[in-house]
C-alpha cells in the first residue's frame, strides 16, 4: 500500500526523509503477518493525532525533527496502524 500524497515538508535531512523523497511519498506502510511498520515525517499536529491510537505505548517510535516535524517509525499491529492512518487523514482534512 502506498500513499501518493505529495511531500509538503521542507528538505528532509534524515535517512527516512531521503527514503520518502526517493519514493515520492509522505508515508510508508509495510504489512507482514498482521503486523505493520508505519514510517513517515509529519507535522507535530498530525503526529499528535497519530499518537492517540498507541495508547501511551509510543516510546522510541516518535522523534522530533527541526521545522515542527516529527518522524514516526512505529511497529504496531495492523488494526493500530489503520487507526493511525485514519487519524492522519482526519487531521490533514481539517487543515485543508
Per-residue pLDDT tens over the stretch 46-68: 999 998 988 877 666 788 888 89
pLDDT recorded at residue 20: 67
**Residue 25, C-beta contacts closer than 8 angstroms, at least 6 positions apart:** 2, 3, 4, 5, 7
Domains along the sequence of the chain with CATH: 15-95 (3.30.70)
Q: What is the mean pLDDT of residues 24-28?
A: 79
Quick one: what percent of the chain has pLDDT higher than 90? Answer: 32
Q: 68-87: per-residue pLDDT in tens?
A: 999 999 989 999 999 999 99
- pLDDT computed for residue 59 by the predictor: 62
pTM summary value: 0.75
- The region, left, alpha or beta by phi > 0 then psi within -120 to 50, assigned to residue 82 is alpha
Amino acid at each position: 500500500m502506498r500513499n501518493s500524497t505529495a511531500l509538503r515538508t521542507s528538505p528532509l535531512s534524515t535517512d527516512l526523509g531521503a527514503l520518502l523523497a526517493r519514493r515520492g511519498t509522505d508515508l510508508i506502510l509495510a504489512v507482514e503477518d498482521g503486523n505493520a511498520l508505519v514510517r513517515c515525517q509529519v507535522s507535530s499536529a498530525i503526529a499528535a493525532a497519530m499518537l492517540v491510537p498507541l495508547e501511551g505505548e509510543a516510546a522510541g517510535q516518535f522523534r522530533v525533527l527541526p521545522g515542527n516535524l516529527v518522524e514516526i517509525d512505529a511497529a504496531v499491529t495492523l488494526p493500530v496502524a489503520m487507526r493511525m492512518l485514519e487519524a492522519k487523514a482526519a487531521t490533514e482534512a481539517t487543515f485543508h
